[in-house]
Every structure is written in structure tokens, then in C-alpha cells.
Amino acid sequence: MRKFVDPFLNIMPQLDVHGFTEDTVMTVVNEFIDDNYKLGRKNICVIHGKGAGILKRKIHRSLRYNKKVKNYHLYNFNIGCTIIELY
């Protein structure tokens, strides 16, 4: 069986936060958002994994109040990945 790979996900800037703790993950994610916001990118991807959802909840909670984030949602083909739309 062949796995579907979305070609648009490959060209989007990605940050993989597997292995980070709940306390340190937002430092890295906020730096990633700031860097891409300064570069004028509109869509970025954060890969947090499926697991127990600890990192996903922490990231989504923080994105809700970030003024640079226009919208965010889980990626349709992989719920271990969040797509973030920037202003």
C-alpha cells in the first residue's frame, strides 16, 4: 500500500519538537514563529507527534494567544502535525 504524501507539506517550513519537554517546547516554537514571521512566510508546520497529546495541548494553548498567529489547525492527513497560519 502506498502512503499519500502531500507535496505542499514538503515545501512548508517545519519544526519537529519530538523529545522536548512541556516546559521547554514553547521557547523553540515561539522562536520558530518569530523567525518565519520576519521572513514573511504565511504557513508553517510544527510536528509534535500523536502520543498522549501533552505537547499538542501546550502548543495549541499558546498559539491561541499569540498575536502573530492568524489561525492554526491539525493537518488532515496526520494529527501529529499542526499547520499555523501567520499574519
CATH of the domain at 64: 3.30.1370.110
Domain assignment of residue 51, yes or no = yes
Tens digits of per-residue pLDDT, 32-59? 999 999 999 999 999 999 989 999 999 9
Domain assignment of residue 83, yes or no = yes
pTM metric for this prediction: 0.87
Q: What is the largest CA-CA distance in the chain?
A: 42
Helix, strand, coil percentages in the chain from 3-state DSSP, rounded to 5: 35, 30, 40
Residue 9 has pLDDT above 70, yes or no: no
Q: How many folded domains does the chain comprise?
A: 1
Domain assignment of residue 9, yes or no = no
CA angle 43, 45, 46 (to 5 degrees): 145
Residue 83 has pLDDT above 70, yes or no: yes
Domain assignment of residue 25, yes or no = no
Structural domain boundaries enclosing 47:
36-87
Domain assignment of residue 87, yes or no = yes
